[in-house]
């Protein structure tokens, strides 16, 4: 693992973690078991090919087939956006807003492999939710995760174009839409492997926010909150789009101190609560 960490330093910001995850996968054990019990094990023959794939910039999650997110483990692979730890900021914001009681109903627009929806349902066992995505590949992974996590009775999946055709209203709405401009630079592991449809949103990165914001008033239940992930430079512009729809908007930063999520609530309800 020390040798692998050394060579991975040229392609990864987390070379030691990558080496540990690859070795654990090669051994067929968890990373925790590797570190606590298996450091003296012989290196499996499968480790070399796994390392070669990572050195070719393939995402770790695609190589191992899974990614931890919040309190759950998600199956992921080619054709689906890899869940990022920064997106847990949206779950944290929802927990702060709703507390332990939680929302009763949840909508995840652009659910991917079920990331935000399934994490929220695991957080609040009494809630139910709907995940919408335009990608059949992403929905296939979401279905796999829905079943593996025992959430089939509480999570519904639907192929769709953001909120179009959704007639229900929800207490909590999540969305982590594409927000990268088509000319922006991306690391090779993202640019060459993850689906462009889940990354790019027009020349300025705002195309999908412009479509989602007008849909939210008809989807959000009274007292609810819509929480959207944003890029580090997008807070002001997306806030303006949400305020134009009558929302009061608060900003949430991720653990790295970067603007990461916007929490939209109805302005009229905010005024009522303050008065």
Query: Residue holding tokens 């989602």?
Result: 212
pLDDT confidence tier of residue 272, bands split at 50, 70 and 90: very low
Cβ proximity of 179 and 230 under 8 Å: yes
pLDDT of the residue at 107: 98
**Model confidence at 267: pLDDT above 80:** no
Q: Specify the pTM.
A: 0.93
Using a 10 angstrom Cβ sphere, with 0-12 exposed, 13-18 middle and 19 or more buried, the burial of residue 164 is: exposed
pLDDT at 269 over 80: no
pLDDT in tens, 94-143: 999 999 999 999 999 999 999 999 999 999 999 999 999 999 999 999 99
Tens-digit pLDDT profile for residues 184-240: 889 999 999 999 999 999 999 999 999 999 999 999 999 999 999 999 999 999 999
**Model confidence at 275: pLDDT above 90:** no
Domain boundaries in the chain?
A: 2-56, 81-274
Give the per-residue pLDDT at 268.
66
**Residues 264/228, Cβ–Cβ less than 8 Å:** yes
Q: Using one digit for the tens of pLDDT, what is the confidence trace for 62-93?
A: 999 999 999 999 999 999 999 999 999 999 99
Residue 226, pLDDT score:
98
Please say whether the beta carbons of 54 and 60 come within 8 A: yes
Distance CA 105, CA 180 (A): 29
The superfamily in CATH containing domain 81-274 is: Vaccinia Virus protein VP39 (3.40.50.150)
Q: Confidence class of residue 183 from pLDDT cuts 50, 70 and 90?
A: confident
């Amino acid at each position: 693992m020390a040798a692998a960490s050394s060579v991975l330093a040229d392609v990864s910001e987390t070379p030691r973690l990558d080496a540990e995850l690859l070795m654990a996968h090669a051994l067929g054990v968890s990373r925790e078991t590797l570190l606590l019990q298996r450091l003296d094990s012989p290196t499996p023959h499968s480790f070399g090919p796994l390392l070669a794939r990572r050195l070719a910039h393939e995402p770790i999650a695609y190589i191992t087939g899974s990614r931890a997110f919040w309190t759950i483990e998600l199956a992921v692979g080619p054709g689906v956006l890899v869940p990022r730890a920064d997106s847990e900021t949206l779950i944290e914001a929802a927990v702060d807003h709703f507390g332990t009681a939680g929302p009763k109903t949840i909508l995840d627009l652009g659910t991917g492999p079920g990331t935000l929806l399934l994490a929220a349902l695991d957080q609040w066992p009494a809630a139910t939710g709907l995940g919408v995505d335009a990608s059949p590949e992403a929905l296939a992974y979401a279905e796999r995760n829905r079943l593996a996590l025992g959430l089939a009775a509480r999570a519904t999946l639907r192929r769709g174009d953001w909120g179009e055709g959704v007639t229900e209203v929800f207490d909590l709405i999540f969305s982590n839409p594409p927000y990268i401009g088509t000319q922006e630079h991306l690391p090779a592991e993202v640019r060459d492997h993850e689906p462009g449809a889940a990354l790019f949103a027009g020349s300025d990165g705002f195309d999908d926010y412009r479509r989602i914001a007008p849909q939210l008033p008809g989807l959000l239940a009274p007292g609810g909150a819509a929480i959207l992930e944003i890029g580090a430079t997008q807070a002001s512009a997306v806030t303006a789009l949400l305020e134009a729809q009558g929302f009061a908007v608060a900003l949430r930063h991720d653990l790295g101190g970067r603007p990461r999520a916007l929490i939209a609530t109805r302005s009229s309800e905010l005024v009522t609560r303050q008065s």
